[in-house]
């Protein structure tokens, strides 16, 4: 008997909802729609004024800022020139010397020779900037950094590339083409 009462209650509840919906819909249908005018007789004018104030707190170190900009420019230039330098090494036109810079081994004639010279000179200038910065940061001499860079480039050079190596006596240097990846 309980289930029978439950069904009766549901039917009675629905019977009350339906007349309510009908009454609401008849009321809405009797309302007259109205227009809302959102236009303006003249365009809206906006007058905007802005001041920008730039403050630098603390004392500027222009010398340090210039050195940082030079350092970043040298890093970017070297990164952009990396494939060109490798092409010159692969062509056996330049080699890594004992100072951590490049030496032109064979200068081609004409415009290409000018390009080789300009590229090697720019690379060497950037390397000098970076080595000076590293020496300053480490508190060592530039000669110490040159030697570190030379040894670095000896390790990084590919077989067949020109490298400057120390003579057996250690007093002088000689040019040779790197024989194997582990040669120093």
DSSP letters, 8-52, are HHHHHHHHHHHHHHHHHHHHHHHSPP-------SS----------
Euclidean distance between CA atoms 29 and 25, whole angstroms: 6
pLDDT score of 183: 46
Local mean pLDDT, 10-residue blocks, the chain (184 residues): 60 65 70 76 79 70 78 91 95 95 95 96 95 93 94 93 90 90 52
Domain ranges of the chain: 66-177
- Predicted pLDDT of residue 3: 58
CB 164 within 8 A of CB 97: yes
């Amino acid at each position: 008997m309980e289930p029978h009462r439950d069904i009766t209650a549901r039917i009675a509840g629905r019977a009350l909802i339906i007349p309510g919906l009908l009454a609401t819909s008849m009321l809405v249908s009797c309302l007259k729609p109205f227009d809302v005018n959102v236009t303006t007789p003249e365009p809206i004018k906006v007058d905007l004024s802005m001041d920008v104030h730039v403050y630098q707190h603390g004392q500027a170190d222009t010398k340090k800022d210039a050195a940082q900009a030079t350092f970043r420019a040298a890093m970017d230039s070297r990164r952009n020139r990396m494939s060109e330098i490798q092409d010159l090494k692969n062509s056996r036109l330049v080699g890594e010397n004992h100072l951590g810079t490049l030496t032109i081994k064979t200068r081609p004639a004409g415009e290409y020779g000018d390009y080789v010279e300009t590229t090697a000179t720019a690379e060497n200038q950037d390397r000098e900037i970076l080595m000076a910065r590293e020496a300053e940061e480490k508190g060592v001499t530039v000669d110490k950094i040159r030697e570190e860079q030379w040894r670095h480039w000896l390790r990084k050079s590919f077989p067949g590339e020109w490298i400057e190596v120390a003579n057996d006596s250690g007093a002088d240097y000689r040019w040779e083409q790197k024989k194997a990846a582990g040669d120093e």
